[in-house]
Structure formats: C-alpha cells, structure tokens
C-alpha cells in the first residue's frame, strides 16, 4: 500500500453512520481528493493514510485509503490549527493561540497530564474545561483504537464499526473475545471475526471460536429457508468452516446449547438443532396460532348468509359454494386460510369479507408483506392496506441486530379483524411478530397461494398452517378471471396440477422456442426492442417485466439488466449517471431495493409525509443523480422518494430483469420468462408456476419446449426443514 500524509482542509461528504468520507487533503502544498472511512472529520487534522491511487471516471485522480492515523501536530502553528479547528468545544482560533502561547510545545502534555492548567487561560472556566476534556478524551480514545488496530491490519471502516460499538473498551473486549462482534455488530460475519481473531493470536481450537463457528453454521438455515438443521449436517458444516476435528465440534455444539446460542430438540426420533432466534420464533408461533384458532365468534346480530346475498346483489355477481364458505368462515372463525391460484376470486372474497365485517361495525385492517402487494390490495379494495412492517410500527435501534416492533403483546393492534394477502411470503420471524401484536378477540384471515414459492426468509408458514389442520382452510379452484381467449389462469392451473397445457401461441400464453441461451437472450432483447411494440402496442418500459430463474449466465438477471438498460434507457447527454463498481446507474433506470433498510428516510410526494424504511423488493425509478451532493434520488412506485448516498448504492440493483423470487407479491401486465435447463430441485414446477402467475395480460416463455415440460413434470422442489406442524400438534394436544 502507498502512504499519503497531509492536513485535512475540506470535507466534501461525510456519512455519520458509517464514516464514508470524501475530503480534500493538503499534502505538501498539493490538494488531493481522498476517499475512505473516518470516525470523525475535523479540519486541520494531520493524517497519514494508507491506500492506493485510483482514477474515477467522473472525479478523476483520488487516493482511496483503507487505513488512517491521526498525527498530532508538532509545530506551534500546527497546534493552533489543530486546537482551533472546532475539534474541542469552547476553543476557537483565538483561544487556541492563547493556549499555545502559554504552553508552547508542552500543550498536548498539559492536555494529557495536567488539564486543569487550562483554567489559566482567560475565558476558560470549569464548565468549558469539562466539555473540552470530554471531547479530547474521545479523540484520544479514537486515536488509540485506530493505532492499535492498524498493527493487526484492521481497516479504518472496520475500526469505526468496532469503536462505535465498544468505545474506549474496544481493544479490551476484542482481546477477550473477538467473536463478540458477530453478535453485537450489524453486518459483521464470522469470516471477518475469524480473520481478526487470527491476527490477535486466537488459537483454532479456542472454545469461543468453536462456539461462534457452530452458531455460524446454524445461520445457514436463514439462507436455505429452513428453521432447523439435522445433527449430521450441522457437524459437517461446522467442521468445514472451522477446520478442526469432529470431536472438537461436538463439544462446541454442547457448549453452544448450554450457553443459549442454539436449541436442541427431537423430531420424529431424530436430533435437530435450531438457531436460538428461529426456535423461539417457531415455538411462539405454534403456541399463538393454536390459541388463536380456538376463537369462534357468535354472529347472532347478523344473518351471514343474507349478508352474503346482499353483497352478491350489490356487486351483481354470483358466488360459488367455496367462495360463500370462505366469507362465512372468515366472519365466524378466529383463524382462517383462504388459498387459490390466479383468477380464482381471492380479491372478490376479500371485498366480501370487508363488506360484511364493516356492516357489523367492526374495525378491519388490510395488510400485505410487501409495499407492492399492499398497493395492489389498496387498488382492488378501495381501502388502505399497509405493509406488515408499517402496521406493526417497526422501530430501528442502531445497537440491535434486528428491528423491533412497537406493536406487540404489551401494545397490541386494536382491531376486530386483520386480512393479510400474499401470506405465502411471510416467514416465521415476521409471523411471530405479527401474532404477538394480535390480541384475543381479533380474527386473522390469511389469503394467499400456497402453491407459489415459499417466503425468502426461513420457514414455510402458510403451507405449514394448512398442513397442520389447525385452522379451517378454504381452497378456491374454479377460475373466474378468464376471457374467451385468455389462457394464463387455465394454463397456470394445469401447470400446478402437473399437466402440460396446450399452447397455440394465439392467446395471452406464448412459448417461443429457442435452442440455446444465446438465442433466448436475443429473443428477449428483440421483444423489448421492437417486436412487442410493433405487434401489440405494448409500453415496454412500464408494462413489461423480464423474470429469470437465475442471476448469472447470459439469461441471468445481471447480464440481462445491462443489455436491457441499453435498449430501454440508453446513455444520453441529458441523463446524469454514476458508476458504482460494475454497475452504471442512470437517470430513468428501473431499480429495486435488495435488502431491508429500516433507517432510510423517505417522503411521500403527494402528502409530503415523511417516514423511515425501504424494503427488500421495493421497485422504483432513478429520479435524479446529483454528483455535487454524492447522492441519488429514487422515486418508488408507491409515491415515496428516497435519497441514497453514493456509498449506499450496493442496496440497489437494476430491475429491468428480476428473479422469480424477487417478483413474488407482484403482478405485471406482461411477463417475459427465459427457460433454461438445470437441476429439478431448483428449476421445477413451483418456480414455473410462480413466474407464470405474475402475468396479468400476457406471459411469454422463451426457451426449449422440453425444458418447459421438464419443469412441469418436476415436483422435486426441496422441502424446507421446519418444525411448525409438529409444534402445533404438540400444543394442540397440551391445550385440549
């Protein structure tokens, strides 16, 4: 690494939360732009930076540093600049000059060893002295942490995270247990902790390391969608991660359970292991679902059958027996599941339930897991639907690894009924939080398509509830959303039943044969470039969504997004753009938030309401890129604007193409879906069904017909490891 020293003369940008800084450094009379992470930025501070020179496409030559050290000034002129920079409250340039004139080269020694002597300076009293010493102590602690960690090769970015968590105790805490950072600091994983521990001299067989490795191995449940892990799988994964003997891992597993870092249970005679958070979520969910399902409501004040008749007359529709049963059950039961594919009338039923419950003067709330699903629910019912996070009034704490909710058992939702759409997307952790906020006497109505892909997060909640038999389940099978020529709903039903539908390419269900990925890619681009526009009059920018089964490869979302951007939003002198790693963001680009950010500020462009939180899967358009402010504004489809610093752009991806998983909870007028070969554990019927059912007006599949057939015939999707059904059965036995 190269070294650069100088005085901090100008701060262009500084993010207080993560320390990302762009500044100008006076290096021997030459003004240099430096970029990296700093705990604090005070003008006049003397710094030594370690990093490399880079050439930015827009900003030119700059020094990108990974480590930095605060160098205390040695000259009287430097001391005056340092003390008078605003670093210490109550000391301006004039007072700084008086201090240095009084103590000369001994100034910093006085601050360190005999600070009461500052009272000799006119204008400095006891209160000001106290403020000065507090700030100076903080600066000294920061310098100490930075200096000590640089010896271990810790970057300034990581050092800032550590200091913000532990302050002056940072070094002592990490020397005792460097693996604490995995538990305490958001965004720090086992690998980073293990690298730090190695530099600190921690032995590979250290018990704290082994326990941290066991916990990390169990965390793979989150990525795999499972809530628990079998014993053999846990031992094997932990052994691979830690590189130690099996006996050592087995001892670590026992210690982890004793210390409360994991939970061991028995399922069908087999020993299983949970991450503690998932065990608590699953067990609490099972108990609360069992209790909720015991509730039944008397409806003597209203004839439900007659109320359904009135709803039919008002809407000029005729409900079938399953639909009438769904509405009646939702009015009378504490917990009910309504499930069915596209076009089976789920929206009609939601409106019917809403109509009758409101006629009974009951308070009803609509909700959905994502902003897109909530917006669609609002549009189809005329009533406000909230995201579950907003409904539960999430609260973000910098010191917590996960957000908490203001609505809980101590502050429950004051509702008579809650209707949740797209319930298949709810994972076990969110379901636990939702149930905690529902007080006795509230109806919970879960609506969704149990045949879609399960939630991105761990668990298989909707399907497990159905399988458990804990609640009445109404299955809708008859298709209503169908014109004479529409085949989307009909073919989706056939796919879901394992039947290969007949495709004549004369309707809204189209299959374009292509032999290889090169042909698939070109066909997708041609459809967007001219074929759809010329032949169907479709607005390819707003109406069409490309959905791919994969991220990588020629027809993966990464490559397709780059190609589609050049077609739908090409470069122009009238459009600002910003390069972030391999991605070029451009004004007018379609983008998606790819992780939950509970702190992100937003403003509603219509009501001017302000709030916090942008969530994984939220879609928007790049509205403005402001180079001078180092920020980018995204206008989300629900009317909110959010401003991203350039260092936050790793939270966004292009959304011209998205994966099938990311498309869940959304509907698009036209969907184009590439089909490729691969493992039936992944490229299977459930994936195909989920992709097809995202389309409202037209679905265009591109690829080999045999791949289409193989996906339909493959019902080998990997069943998630969850214990919810077992736990519900156990609680039902205990409470009966």
The answer to the question of whether 344 is labelled as a binding residue is: yes
Helix 231-242, helix 207-218: angle, nearest 10? 130
Neighbours of 733 (CB within 10 A): 9
Based on its alpha-carbon atoms, the radius of gyration of the chain, rounded to whole angstroms, reads: 30
**Rounded to an integer, what distance in angstroms lies between the CA atom of residue 119 and that of residue 110?**
11
d(CA 37, CA 159): 9
Q: Spell out where 72-172 has E strands.
A: none
The DSSP result for 446-514, as a single string, is: EEE-TTS---SSS--HHHHHHHHT-S-EEEE----S--TT--HHHHHHHHHTT------SSSSEEEEE-
Q: Judging by beta carbons within 10 Å of its beta carbon (0-12, 13-18, 19+), is residue 207 exposed, middle or buried?
A: middle
With a CB cutoff of 8 Å and minimum separation 6, the contacts of 564 are 524, 525, 528, 546, 654, 656, 657
Contact, 671 vs 698, CB < 8 A? yes
Best CA proximity match to 65, nearest among 40, 27, 20, 34: 34
Q: Let me know: does 621 contact 642? Beta carbons within 8 Å.
A: no
Task: Tell me phi and psi for residue 270, to 5 degrees.
Answer: -115, 140
CA 399 to each of CA 306, 396, 402: distance values in angstroms, whole numbers, following the listed order: 54, 9, 9
Closest of 687, 692, 686 to residue 545, by C-alpha: 692
CA distance 583 to 575: 16
Q: Tell whether 575 is in a known binding site.
A: no
| 477 has binding-site annotation | no
In whole angstroms, give the CA distance from residue 372 to residue 172. 47
Other beta carbons less than 10 A from residue 539's beta carbon: 11
How far is Cα 567 from Cα 604, in angstroms, rounded to an integer? 30
Distance CA 641, CA 634 (A): 6
Question: Which of the 8 DSSP states describes residue 73?
Answer: P
8-state DSSP, 296: B
For strands 364-368 and 657-659, give the pairing.
Answer: unpaired
Alpha-carbon distance of 594 to 580, in angstroms, equals: 15
Distance of CA 159 to the CA centre of its chain: 25
Cα dihedral across residues 412, 416, 422, 428: positive or negative: positive
Burial (CB count within 10 angstroms: exposed 0-12, middle 13-18, buried 19+), residue 383:
middle
DSSP 709: H
The counts of H helices and E strands in the chain are 28, 30
328 known ligand binder: no
Half-sphere exposure of 44 (CA within 13 A, CB side): 18
Q: Is 347 annotated to bind ligand? A: yes
Residues 462 and 426: their CA atoms lie apart, in Å, by 8
Please name which of 19, 403, 401, 457 lies closest in space to residue 182, comparing C-alpha atoms: 401
Give the Cβ contact number of residue 203 at 10 Å.
Answer: 9
> From the annotation, which residues make up the binding site for ATP?
343-347
Q: Which residues are annotated as a binding site?
A: 343-347
């Amino acid at each position: 690494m190269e070294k650069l020293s100088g005085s901090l003369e100008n701060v262009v940008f500084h993010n207080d939360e993560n320390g990302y800084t762009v500044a100008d450094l006076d290096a021997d009379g030459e003004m240099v732009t430096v970029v990296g992470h700093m705990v604090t930025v005070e003008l006049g501070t003397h710094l030594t930076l370690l990093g490399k020179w880079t050439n930015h496409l827009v900003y030119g030559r700059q020094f990108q540093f990974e480590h930095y050290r605060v160098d205390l000034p040695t000259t009287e002129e430097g001391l005056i600049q340092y003390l008078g920079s605003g670093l210490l409250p109550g000391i301006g340039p004039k007072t700084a000059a008086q201090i240095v004139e009084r103590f000369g080269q001994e100034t910093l020694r006085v601050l360190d060893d005999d600070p009461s002597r500052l009272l000799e300076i006119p204008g400095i009293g006891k209160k000001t002295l106290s403020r000065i010493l507090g700030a100076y102590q903080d600066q000294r602690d920061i310098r100490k942490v930075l200096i000590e960690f640089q010896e271990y090769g810790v970057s300034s970015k990581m050092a800032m995270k550590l200091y913000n968590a532990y302050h002056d105790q940072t070094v002592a805490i990490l020397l005792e247990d460097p693996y604490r950072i995995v538990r305490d600091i958001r965004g720090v994983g086992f690998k980073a902790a293990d690298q730090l521990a190695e530099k600190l001299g921690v032995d590979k067989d250290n018990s704290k390391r082994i326990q941290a490795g066991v916990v990390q191995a169990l965390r793979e449940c989150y990525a795999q969608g499972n809530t628990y892990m079998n014993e053999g799988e846990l031992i094997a994964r932990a052994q691979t991660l830690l590189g130690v003997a099996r006996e050592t891992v087995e001892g670590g597993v026992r210690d982890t359970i004793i210390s409360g870092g994991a939970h061991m249970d028995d399922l069908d005679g087999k020993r299983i292991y949970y991450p503690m958070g998932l065990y608590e979520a699953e067990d609490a969910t099972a108990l609360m679902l069992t209790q909720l399902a015991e509730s039944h409501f008397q409806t003597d004040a209203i004839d439900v059958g007659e109320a359904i008749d009135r709803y039919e007359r008002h809407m000029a529709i005729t409900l079938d027996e399953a639909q009438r049963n769904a509405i009646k059950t939702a009015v009378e039961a504490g917990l009910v599941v309504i499930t069915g594919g596209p076009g089976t009338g789920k929206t009609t039923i939601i409106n019917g339930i809403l109509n009758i419950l409101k006629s009974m003067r009951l308070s009803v709330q609509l909700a959905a897991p994502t902003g897109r699903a909530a917006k669609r629910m609002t549009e189809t019912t005329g009533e406000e639907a909230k995201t579950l996070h907003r409904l539960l009034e999430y609260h973000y704490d910098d010191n917590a690894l996960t957000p908490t909710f203001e609505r809980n058992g101590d502050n429950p939702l004051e509702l008579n009924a809650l209707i949740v759409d797209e319930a298949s997307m709810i994972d076990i952790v969110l379901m636990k939080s939702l149930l905690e906020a529902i007080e006795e006497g509230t109806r919970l109505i879960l609506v969704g398509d149990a045949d879609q892909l399960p939630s991105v997060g761990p668990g298989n909640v909707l399907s497990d509830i159905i399988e458990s038999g804990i609640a009445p389940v109404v299955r809708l099978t008859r298709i209503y959303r169908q014109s004479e020529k529409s085949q989307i709903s009909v073919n989706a039903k056939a796919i879901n039943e394992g039947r290969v539908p007949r495709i004549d390419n004369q309707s809204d269900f189209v299959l374009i044969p292509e032999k290889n990925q090169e042909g698939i890619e070109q066909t997708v681009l041609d459809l967007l470039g001219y074929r759809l526009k010329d032949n169907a009059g479709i607005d390819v920018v707003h109406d069409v969504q490309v959905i791919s089964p994969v991220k990588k490869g020629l027809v993966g979302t990464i490559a397709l997004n780059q190609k589609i951007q050049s077609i739908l939003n090409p470069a122009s002198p009238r459009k600002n753009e910003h390069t972030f790693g391999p991605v070029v963001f451009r004004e007018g680009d379609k983008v998606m938030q790819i992780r939950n950010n509970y702190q992100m500020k937003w403003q509603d462009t219509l009501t001017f309401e302000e709030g916090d939180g942008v969530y994984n899967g939220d879609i928007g358009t790049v509205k403005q890129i402001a180079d001078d402010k180092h920020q980018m504004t995204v206008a989300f489809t629900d009317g909110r604007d959010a401003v991203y610093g350039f260092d936050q752009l790793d939270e966004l991806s292009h959304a011209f193409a998205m994966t099938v998983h990311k498309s869940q909870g959304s509907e698009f007028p036209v969907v184009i879906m590439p089909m490729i070969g691969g493992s039936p554990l992944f490229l299977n019927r459930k994936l195909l069904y989920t992709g097809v059912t995202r389309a409202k007006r037209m679905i265009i599949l591109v690829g080999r017909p045999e791949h289409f057939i193989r996906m339909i015939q493959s019902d080998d999707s990997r069943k998630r490891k969850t214990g919810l059904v077992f736990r519900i059965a156990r609680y039902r036995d205990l409470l009966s």
